[in-house]
């Protein structure tokens, strides 16, 4: 299939899904109380986006996501570089990381609530905690992806440490670093959402779980569409840069 054909088929599939979402509930094939027609959901989304309390919730959630990300990325990156660059630390900690990954981090939420109360700090701390592990392993993978040959060549031509860092490490790691950031953001966003849905007084995650409990399906689906759209758009934007940065590799 050519590029154009692929895109056309994808658009056709998307149109099919959206049409089914609109038409099936409209014609009572599925219960519109459980799945409101797409049109109703979108008009509800429009209404919600004009409300001040929704603006406030979006602001809080966005701030939590950004602050948690700013904490987790440098912290995880430093730890990841340490276990990648030091053979000994790598040998000690890498096998443990795999166990840590299979543990549901949400069970530690009660500890964050006890330590910070139900506050902004509790959500940020929990999200940063879950994200740090992801950043750590991605950073370690990125460092390890740098070919030793490149470093050897640079050294034998007399490159300084700073030059090796800026001219060898950074460009070779760039695509993987962007991928690391992208995946970390997915986990970071999920962490904030779980923390807000679990115990919160504000934020979009809190609103979504409230709408679910009160069976306000149009509001609930509008929230799901809004968050999904934000997440997918951010992800695609990073992937676009990722593709540009790795063009030279092949």
Give the binding site for other proteins (CB under 8 A). 1, 6, 9-10, 13, 34, 87-88, 91-92, 95-111, 113-115, 130, 133-134, 137-138, 141, 179, 182-183, 186-187, 189-191, 193-194, 197-198, 205, 208-209, 211-213, 215, 217, 220-221, 223-224, 227-228, 231-232, 234-236
Q: What's the number of CA atoms in the CB half-sphere (13 Å) around residue 177? A: 13
CA 18 to chain centre: 25
Minimum Å gap between C-beta 164 and other proteins is: 22
The residue (of 70 and 103) whose beta carbon lies closer to other proteins is 103
Minimum Å gap between C-beta 31 and other proteins is: 10
The residue (of 103 and 165) whose beta carbon lies closer to other proteins is 103
Task: Please answer whether residues 173 and 143 qualify as being in contact, where contact means their C-beta atoms are separated by less than 8 angstroms.
Answer: yes
The residue (of 103 and 166) whose beta carbon lies closer to other proteins is 103
Minimum Å gap between C-beta 6 and other proteins is: 6
The residue (of 79 and 208) whose beta carbon lies closer to other proteins is 208
CA distances in angstroms from 56 to 69, 70, 228, listed in the order given: 20, 21, 19
The residue (of 28 and 102) whose beta carbon lies closer to other proteins is 102
Spatial separation of the C-alpha atoms in residues 35 and 122, rounded to whole Å: 34
Q: Which two tokens stand for residue 174?
A: 């760039």
Spatial separation of the C-alpha atoms in residues 187 and 182, rounded to whole Å: 9
Q: Which two tokens stand for residue 79?
A: 């730890």
Minimum Å gap between C-beta 168 and other proteins is: 20
| Helix/strand/coil percent split, the chain, to 5 | 85, 0, 15
Minimum Å gap between C-beta 52 and other proteins is: 22
Find where tokens 């676009």 sit.
Answer: 240
């Amino acid at each position: 299939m050519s590029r154009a054909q692929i895109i056309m088929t994808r658009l056709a599939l998307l149109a099919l899904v959206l049409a089914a979402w609109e038409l099936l509930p409209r014609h009572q094939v599925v219960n519109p109380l459980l799945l409101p027609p797409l049109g109703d959901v979108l008009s509800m989304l429009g209404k919600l986006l004009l409300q001040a309390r929704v603006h406030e919730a979006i602001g809080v959630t966005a701030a939590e996501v950004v602050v948690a990300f700013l904490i987790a990325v440098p912290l995880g990156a430093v730890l990841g570089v340490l276990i990648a660059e030091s053979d000994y630390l790598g040998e000690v900690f890498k096998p443990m990381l795999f166990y840590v990954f299979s543990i549901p981090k949400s069970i530690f939420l009660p500890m964050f609530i006890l330590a910070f109360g139900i506050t902004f700090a509790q959500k940020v701390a929990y999200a940063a905690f879950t994200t740090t592990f992801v950043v750590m392993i991605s950073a370690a993978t990125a460092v390890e992806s740098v070919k030793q040959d490149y470093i050897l060549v640079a050294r034998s031509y007399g490159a300084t440490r700073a030059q090796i860092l800026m001219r060898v490490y950074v460009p070779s790691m760039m695509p993987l670093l962007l991928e690391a950031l992208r995946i970390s953001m997915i986990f970071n966003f999920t962490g904030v959402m779980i923390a807000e849905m679990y115990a919160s007084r504000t934020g979009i995650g809190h609103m979504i779980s409230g709408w679910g409990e009160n069976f306000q399906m149009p509001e609930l689906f509008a929230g799901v569409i809004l968050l999904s759209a934000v997440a997918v758009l951010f992800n695609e934007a990073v992937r676009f840069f990722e593709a540009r940065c790795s063009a030279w590799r092949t």
